[in-house]
Amino acid sequence: MDALMLPLTRIPPADEALRAGIREFVESALAGVPADVRARSWMGYDPAFSRALAERGWVGLALPPEHGGGGRGVFARFVLVEELLSRGAPVLMHWIADRQSGPMIARFGSEAQKRFYLPRICRAEIGFCIGLSEPNAGSDLASVRTRAERTADGWRLNGRKIWTTNAHRANYMIALVRTSGSAADRHAGLSQVIVDLSAPGVSVRPIRDLTGDTHFNEVAFDDVRLPDDALIGDEGQGWAQANAELAFERSGPERLLSSQVLVDEWFGWLRTLADPPAAQVAALGAIFARLVTLRAMSLAVAARIDAGESPMLAAALVKDLGTLVEQDIPATLSDMLADLPDADRAPPPAVLMRTLAYVSQMAPTFSLRGGTREILRGVIARGLSLR
Ligand SMILES: Cc1cc2nc3c(=O)[nH]c(=O)nc-3n(C[C@H](O)[C@H](O)[C@H](O)COP(=O)(O)OP(=O)(O)OC[C@H]3O[C@@H](n4cnc5c(N)ncnc54)[C@H](O)[C@@H]3O)c2cc1C
- Mean pLDDT within 332-356: 85
pLDDT at 342 over 70: no
Beta-bridge partners for 297: none
Q: In which band, very low, low, confident or very high, does the pLDDT at 241 lie, cut at 50, 70 and 90?
A: confident
Q: Check residue 341 and give its pLDDT.
A: 63
What is the residue-averaged pLDDT of the chain?
93
59-70 CB burial, b ≥16 within 10 A, e <16: bbbbbeeebbbb
φ, ψ for residue 15 (rounded to 5)?
A: -85, -40
Q: How far apart are CA 150 and CA 131, in angstroms?
A: 20
Q: Are 211 and 362 in contact (CB under 8 A)?
A: yes
Q: How far apart are CA 54 and CA 74, in angstroms?
A: 18
- Mean pLDDT within 168-174: 98
pLDDT at 343 over 70: no
φ, ψ for residue 201 (rounded to 5)?
A: 95, -10
Beta-bridge partners for 291: none
289-321, pLDDT tens digit by residue? 999 999 999 999 889 888 888 888 888 999 999
pLDDT at 167 over 90: yes
Q: Check residue 185 and give its pLDDT.
A: 85
Dist. CA 60 → ligand 1 center (Å) = 28
1-14, pLDDT tens digit by residue? 567 778 889 999 99
3-class SS of residue 139: coil
- Residues having CB closer than 6 A to ligand 1 are 129-133, 138-139, 163-165, 216, 365, 368-369, 371-372, 374-375, 378
Please choose from 43, 143, 163, 166 the residue to mutate so as to test ligand 1's pocket, defined by most ligand atoms within 8 A of CB.
163
Q: Check residue 306 and give its pLDDT.
A: 86
pLDDT at 182 over 90: no
- Mean pLDDT within 181-208: 94
68-106, pLDDT tens digit by residue? 999 999 999 999 999 999 999 999 999 999 999 999 999
246 alpha carbon, distance to own chain's centre: 10
Q: How far apart are CA 335 and CA 273, in angstroms?
A: 19
- Give, using CA atoms, the residue closest to atom 40 of ligand 1: 375
Q: 23 versus 275: which is more confidently predicted?
A: 23
Q: 51 versus 371: which is more confidently predicted?
A: 51
Q: Check residue 145 and give its pLDDT.
A: 96
3-class SS of residue 223: strand
Q: Check residue 146 and give its pLDDT.
A: 97
Q: Check residue 251 and give its pLDDT.
A: 66
Q: Which of 245, 249, 254, 326 is the catalytic position?
A: 249
Q: How far apart are CA 176 and CA 137, in angstroms?
A: 11
116-134, pLDDT tens digit by residue? 999 999 999 999 999 999 9
Dist. CA 252 → ligand 1 center (Å) = 20
149 is catalytic: no
- Give, using CA atoms, the residue closest to atom 29 of ligand 1: 139
Please choose from 139, 145, 387 the residue to mutate so as to test ligand 1's pocket, defined by most ligand atoms within 8 A of CB.
139
Q: How far apart are CA 181 and CA 185, in angstroms?
A: 6
Query: Which atom of ligand 1 has the smallest separation from the CA of 364?
Result: 53
Q: Check residue 1 and give its pLDDT.
A: 58
Of 291, 202, 191, the residue nearest 242 (C-alpha): 191
Terminal Cα-to-Cα distance of the chain (whole angstroms)? 16
Helices marked H in 88-208: 92-96, 102-108, 111-122
